[in-house]
Amino acid sequence: MRPRWRKVFSDLIDNKARTLLVVFSIAVGVFAIGVLVGAYEIISTDMSVSYAANNPSNIEIRMSDFDEEFLHTLGNVEGVEDVEGRWVFGIRVRPLGSDEWTSLNVITIDNFEENKINLLSPVSGTAAPEKNQILLQKEIFEDFDVAPGDTIEFQLSDQTVKSIVVAGIVADSSTDAIDFLAPPLGYITPKTLRLFNEPEGNFNRLYATVGEGKDDEDHIKDVLSNIKDKVEKNDYMVWRAFNSKTHEHPLESTINAVLGILFALGVLILFLSSSLIANTLSALLNQHLRHIGVMKLIGGRDKLIFRMYIVLLFAFGVLSLVIAVPLGGQGAYALSEFMGTKIGFELLGYRIVPLAFIVQILIGILVPLAAGLVPVIKGSRVTVQKALSGDLAREADEGGEKKESRLESFQIRAVSVLADRGIRISRPLLVSLRNTFRQRNRLILTLFTLLMGGATFISVFNVRVSLTEYIQVVGNYFLADVTISFEKLYRINEVQQFAMDDPRVTAVEGWAFASAEILYDDDTVADNVDILAPPAESPLVNPLLVDGRWIAPTDKRKLAISESVYDSYPDLQAGDKIPLKILGREEIWEVVGIFKFIGMEGTIAYAPYEYIAKETNVVNQSASFRIVSDSHELEVQEELAKDLDAFFRDNGFQVSETSPGLSMLNEASESIDILITFLLIMAVLTAVVGAMGLAGTMSMNVLERTREIGIMRAVGATDFEIIRMVLVEGLLIGMISFVLSILVAFPFTYLLSWIVSSATFETPIAVVFTPVGYGIWLGLVILLSVLASVIPARGAARLTIREVLAYE
C-alpha cells in the first residue's frame, strides 16, 4: 500500500471511537431512510396486490335481514358481477382458562370452497371449517394464544358461555378493510349458527363486485345506487353502505399519508445526522492540521490532500452502509409487517427493495461527501505555516494580542455587572458557561439537532392529546351509555318502559335511520350519506358545528351534514340546498348546518326523528335505542349493556346488538395510539440522533481542550471539578435546546397535527397542548445531556497532566 493510503487507512482505524461516531452518525440517517423508503415500497405494492388477490367486494351494504331469494335478485342488478350474502353477528371470545373477553364479529359463509368475494388466505389449519368449528382471523393472536385444534370459549348476548373448536387461522384483507376500528373476525358455516343461537337462512350483509370498471369509483357508486334502489323498493332498510376499488386498499391514502409523515421525519433525521457528520469531520480535519502541514511541507499538493480526505469520507460512508443497509432492509420489512398486521393485509414475502437499496447507497456515500466537503476543502487549502503553527479552530491564546469579540466582551461585562450586584459566578462555572459558546458553529449544529429532536418529540405528544381530545369530541355524537339494536321495530314507549325498570337507566331514546345519496346536478351520485335521526332536541348529540345550526323538531327536508360533504360540494354553506336521493325519491334538501366528524367513517348527516320517522312510516317506533344511565364509566356501561341485553332477550325482544357507549371511543383511541407509536418511534430516533450529536460535540470539545484540562489539574482541579465542568456544559447545551424546542414545538405541533388529522380524520382538528411532552422531553434532554457528557467527562478526568501538557 502506498504511504498516503496507509495514512488514510490508519486514520480510519487509529481513533476507533471517532470513526465509530462518524460511521454511526451516517448509519442512523441511512437506516431511517432505508426503513422508510423500503416500507413505503413494500406497503404500497403489497397492500394493493394482496388486497386485490382476495377479490375484495366493491360494494358492501349492511342492511336488514334478507334471504337467498332476494340475494339472487340483487345479482341481476345492472353492472353487478357477483353477489354474496353473509350473516354477521358479534360475540365475545376467550381462550380456555383466560378471564379476559375479546370482541369478535362472526361471519357466516355459505360455502368456503366456492365463495368468490372477500377470499380468505389460509395461514394454518384448515381453510374450510366443519360444523361447530370456527376459523379465526390472524389479528386476534395479538390478544390471545390459540392454535388450530384448540378450543375457545364464547359468550352469547344472553350470557351463555359455550365452547367451539378453532379449525384454522386465516388472513382476511378485504372484510372490514375500510374500518380499522372494527373488531377481529371469525368465520363459520351456516350449520354452526345454531350453536350461537342465531337464525339460519338469513343474511344481514351484502357483498358485491362489479363486472367492469372495478377501479372506477363513479361506476361503482352508480351500481351501489342501483342496488340500494332495489333494496329500498323492496322495503329493506339500509344501515350503512360502502364502496371501494379492487386495486386500492380502502386505507391506502391514510397509510400513504402516515408514511409521508414518517418519510418527512426520516429526511429530518438524515439532515440532522449530516450536520453531525459535518461537525465531526471539521473537528477531525482540525486535529489533522499538523499532518496536513507536514504532508504539504514534503511536497503534498492541495489536490492530493483533498483526494486523501475524500477517500477517507468515502470509507466512512461505505462502513456506515455495511451497518445501515442490512438493518434498513430488516427494519423496512418489520415496519411493513407491523403495518400489515395492524391494517390487515398480507406481505408478499421478504425481499430487497431495489429503490431503497439505491437510495441508501446514494445517501450513505453522498451525504458524508457533501457534509465533509467544506471542512475538507478548507483543510486541504490551509498554508503550511498555519497548519504547523497550531490548529485553526482553537483561539489564538498564545500571543497575538487580539481583542475580545463582542460576545466575549459582553460575557466579561455581564459577569462583572452581576458581581457588582453581589451575584458571583464561580470561575469553574464560568469556564463551563464560556466553553459552551466557544465553538459557535459546532454549538449551532448541535443545538439544531437537539432542537429538532425535542420539537418533534414534544409535538408528537401534543398531537397525541389533540387526537385523543378530538376522539372525545367525536364521542359527543355518541353520548348514550348503551346502544341497543333490535332485529325489528319496537314501539318506543314499550322499550322505554322495560328499560326504565332498571334503576340505573335515566333516559331512553329511539332513533330512526335512513340511507341516502347526495347527487350532483346531473343526477349522478356524489356520495353516500347515512342519515341518523335522533329526536331533534336529544341531549345525546353534542355536535361540533363549523357552520350553521343544529337540527330542529320542525325541520322538514333539512339536515345537518358532516364536513366530508366538502369532498363533493367544496363550497357548500349552511342554508344551501342539495339534491338527495332518499327512500327511492329524488328530493332537494336544505343543509342547515355542517359539523366535524371522522371523515374516514364516511359522510353522515342528522335529521330530526320527528320528520324521518314520518317519512319512513315508523312514527313512535324504532329498531335502535340510546340509553342513558346514571354513570358514564366504561365498566358500568359494559355491565348495564350486558344486563339490558339479557333482560330484553328474556322478555322476548329480538336483540341484535348491545354495546357500551365508550367502547367505540376506546377502540378509536387504540388505533390512534398505533399511529402515535410510529410518530414516537421517529421522535425517539431524532432524539437519539440529537443525543449522538451532543455526545460527539462533547467528546470533540473535551478532546480539543485536553491541554486546558491539564492546566486545571495543575492548578488544583479534582476529578469532581473536571467532570462537573464537562457535565455543566453538556447540560447547558441541553437546556438551551430545550428552551428553543418549546418555541419551535408550537409551529411543529400545528404542522404535524394538520398532517396527521388530515390523513386520519380527513379534517383538520383543534390543536391541544399538553405539558406531558414538555416534561418528558425535559427529563430526557437532561438524561441525554448527562449521558452524552459523562463519558467524555470521565475520560477528561482520567487524563494525566503529563499527557495533556506534553512536556517532552
Partner 1 sequence: MEHTQPKLASVEKQNLIEIQQLVKTFSNAAGEFTALRGIDLSFQEGEFVAVIGKSGSGKSTLLNMFTGIDHPTSGKVLVGGVDIYAMSESKRSLWRGRNLGIVFQFFQLLPMLNLLENVMLPMDYVGMYEVNERPKRAMELLRMVGLEEQAQKLPRAVSTGQQQSAAIARALSTDAPIIVADEPTGNLDSRSASHIIDLFTELSDRGKTIVMVTHDPSMTKRTSRTVVISDGVIVNETIAQALPLLSQSLMKELSAKVEKLHFQPGETIIRSNESVEKFFMIAKGDVDVVLHGRGKDDLVISQLGMNDFFGEMELLRGGKSIASVRAGSERPVELLALPREDFNWLMQESPLTEKAIGDIVQKRLGEKKQADRRKRNRLFGRK
Sites of contact with partner 1 (CB under 8 A): 395-404, 408, 412, 415-416, 419, 424, 426-428, 430-431, 434-435, 438, 707-708, 710-721, 797, 800-802, 805, 807-808
**Non-local CB neighbours of 414 within 8 Å, separated by 6+ positions:** none
Q: How far is the CB of 293 from partner 1 (least distance, A)?
A: 19
CB of 384 or CB of 415, closer to partner 1: 415
- Cα R_g (the chain), whole angstroms: 34
Query: What cell was used for 726?
Result: 464537562
Q: How far is the CB of 698 from partner 1 (least distance, A)?
A: 16
CB of 455 or CB of 712, closer to partner 1: 712
Q: How far is the CB of 263 from partner 1 (least distance, A)?
A: 43
Q: How far is the CB of 361 from partner 1 (least distance, A)?
A: 39
Q: How far is the CB of 435 from partner 1 (least distance, A)?
A: 6
Closest by Cα among 244, 213, 230, 240 to 117? 244
Angle at 726 between CA 723 and CA 727, to 5 degrees: 80
Q: Are 48 and 42 in contact (CB under 8 A)?
A: no
Interatomic CA distance for residues 692 and 690, integer angstroms: 5
CB of 658 or CB of 701, closer to partner 1: 701
Q: How far is the CB of 437 from partner 1 (least distance, A)?
A: 9
Q: How far is the CB of 253 from partner 1 (least distance, A)?
A: 56
Pairing of strands 603-606, 621-629: unpaired
Query: What cell was used for 527?
Result: 356520495
CB of 303 or CB of 403, closer to partner 1: 403
Element (H, E) at 568: none
Interatomic CA distance for residues 67 and 190, integer angstroms: 13
Query: What cell was used for 274?
Result: 449530516
Interatomic CA distance for residues 666 and 663, integer angstroms: 5
Q: How far is the CB of 721 from partner 1 (least distance, A)?
A: 6
CB of 401 or CB of 571, closer to partner 1: 401
CB of 547 or CB of 708, closer to partner 1: 708
Helix, strand counts (H, E) of the chain: 20, 20
Q: How far is the CB of 387 from partner 1 (least distance, A)?
A: 19
CB of 374 or CB of 714, closer to partner 1: 714
Q: How many CB atoms are located within 10 Å of the residue 796 CB? A: 27
Q: Which long-range contacts (CB under 8 A, 24 or more apart) does 357-363 make?
A: 357/34, 357/325, 357/329, 359/33, 359/34, 359/37, 360/30, 360/33, 360/34, 360/37, 360/321, 360/324, 360/325, 360/328, 361/321, 361/325, 363/29, 363/30, 363/33, 363/270
State in Å, rounded, how far the first CA of the chain is from the last one: 32
CB of 415 or CB of 545, closer to partner 1: 415
Q: Are 549 and 592 in contact (CB under 8 A)?
A: yes
Closest by Cα among 219, 288, 247 to 79? 219
Q: Are 52 and 245 in contact (CB under 8 A)?
A: no
CB of 18 or CB of 724, closer to partner 1: 724
Closest by Cα among 567, 584, 579, 591 to 522? 579
Mapped onto helix, strand or coil, the DSSP state of residue 578 is strand
Q: How far is the CB of 464 from partner 1 (least distance, A)?
A: 43
CB of 80 or CB of 728, closer to partner 1: 728
CB of 422 or CB of 652, closer to partner 1: 422
Q: How far is the CB of 807 from partner 1 (least distance, A)?
A: 4
CB of 147 or CB of 396, closer to partner 1: 396
Q: How far is the CB of 801 from partner 1 (least distance, A)?
A: 4
